[in-house]
Amino acid sequence: MTTVQGSSVDNAGSLLTRLRQFVTAHRFFDILPILILVVVLVVLALFIPNFFNSRNIVNVFVQASTLGLMAIGMTVVMISGGIDLSIPSVMALSAIFGAMHLRDGGSIFVSCLIMLTVGIIAGSINGFAVAYLKMIPFVVTLAMMTIASGAAIWVTNSVSVPVFDEVFFDLILARIADIPRPIIIMVIMALIATLVVRRTLFGRWLYAVGVNVRAARASGVPTNLVIFLTYVISGAFAGLTAIILSARLGSASANMGNDGVVLDIVSSAVVGGVSIYGGIGSPLGAVMGAIFITVISNSMNMMQISFFTGLIIKGVVIIAFVAFDSLRKQ
């Protein structure tokens, strides 16, 4: 009896090991998300005739741009081994403060500055708590999420703050060579962020911290500073997103950063190859992931799949990618 049991355990064990070896040995798996994206796009083209109509595509990309920008910020935090759950609610709060300033007759420049600053301040608080007070990222940013959304509701009384400023709309949403600015901003930011993580001192330190914080410290990496900065960066990206989204929606409200958004951000990052264990991933990948997630949501809309079924499908996709991540981690 024991032998039978032993061997069945063995087989399962070695099958998993073999799967793992296969996944780690083949570079092909690094581009798996893009491959899946292509497959999904082909399927969509076959089933939804209107999907590839250029207006819808541009629309999808504009939608993806705000998600993509937040995913870049999240990626920086996740590479260092942390997580920032407060991005959407901080984004909403920044947008509200900026919009209120604009509503009260303030200048566009100052409004934008306010939005960025609020994001950076919230990020600094997160960063300080995690890096220097050694608090757990999950808890700190969850608390920040509650605080920011609470504050957002409090200052707005749950009423959205309208943004009616043609110049502002023009500035943020205008097209360059037929491409709306949000898309261009997202692409430029993704390229800059990728350059930063791949080729700068900070970037190299970032991966080192994510891989093994103690080893990084012993190698002279200022680990606390690096961790602090990751949250400042994700806060700044929340602020930048606030500018674009408030222009796109023509208003700012607490609801901009609802609970579903944080899930979408994490999914974008994970689908884009960012490891929840830290040390692996790139901003460009996360942006691909954001496009993928937006395409799924958008196509489910067009296929008139209910919102809740949509959630289930998204959840399954995410679990599949996280499972893949843990296989690769071994």
Contact present, 99 and 251 (Cβ < 8 Å): yes
Near another protein by CB under 8 A, which window of 63-71, 162-170, 203-211, 226-234?
203-211
In the set 70, 221, 290, 296, which binds another protein (CB under 8 A)?
221
Binding characters for another protein, 62-101, by CB under 8 A (x = yes): ----------------------------------------
Contact between 218 and another protein per CB under 8 A: yes
Q: In the bound complex, what is the minimum distance in angstroms from residue 28's beta carbon to another protein?
A: 14
228 binds another protein (CB under 8 A): no
Number of amino acids touching another protein (CB under 8 A): 28
Least Å distance, CB 129 to another protein, is 20
d(CA 163, CA 256): 14
Among the candidate windows 50-58, 113-121, 146-154, 205-213, which touches another protein by CB under 8 A? 205-213
Residue burial 43-80, b: 16+ Cβ < 10 Å; e: rest: ebeeeeeebeeeeeeeebbbbbbbbbbbbbbbbbbbbb
Of these, 35, 39, 110, 215, which contacts another protein (CB under 8 A)?
A: 215
| Contact positions with another protein (CB under 8 A) in 171-200 | 195, 199-200
Cα dihedral angle (63, 67, 72, 78), rounded to 10 degrees? -160
Residue 25 found at the interface with another protein (CB under 8 A): yes
Q: Which of 4, 178, 214, 308 binds another protein (CB under 8 A)?
A: 214
CA 243/CA 241 separation, integer angstroms: 5
Element (H, E) at 179: strand 179-180
Give the residue with the Cβ less far from another protein, 9 or 57: 9
Instruction: Tokens 């998600």: give the residue.
Output: 67
Alpha helices in 80-107 (DSSP H): 87-103
Q: Would you give the distance in Å from CA 7 to the centre of its chain?
A: 44
In eight-state DSSP terms, residue 27 is G
| Site membership for another protein, residue 27 (CB under 8 A) | no
Tell me if residue 85 falls in helix, strand or coil. Answer: coil
- Binding string, residues 267-296; x marks residues near another protein by CB under 8 A: ------------xx----------------
CA distance 243 to 160: 15
Residue 133 engages another protein in binding (rule: CB under 8 A)? no
Distance CA 252, CA 270 (A): 28
Choose which of 59, 212, 255, 258 interacts with another protein (CB under 8 A): 212
Binding site for another protein (CB under 8 A): 6, 9-10, 13-14, 17, 25, 195, 199-201, 204-205, 207-208, 211-212, 214-222, 279-280
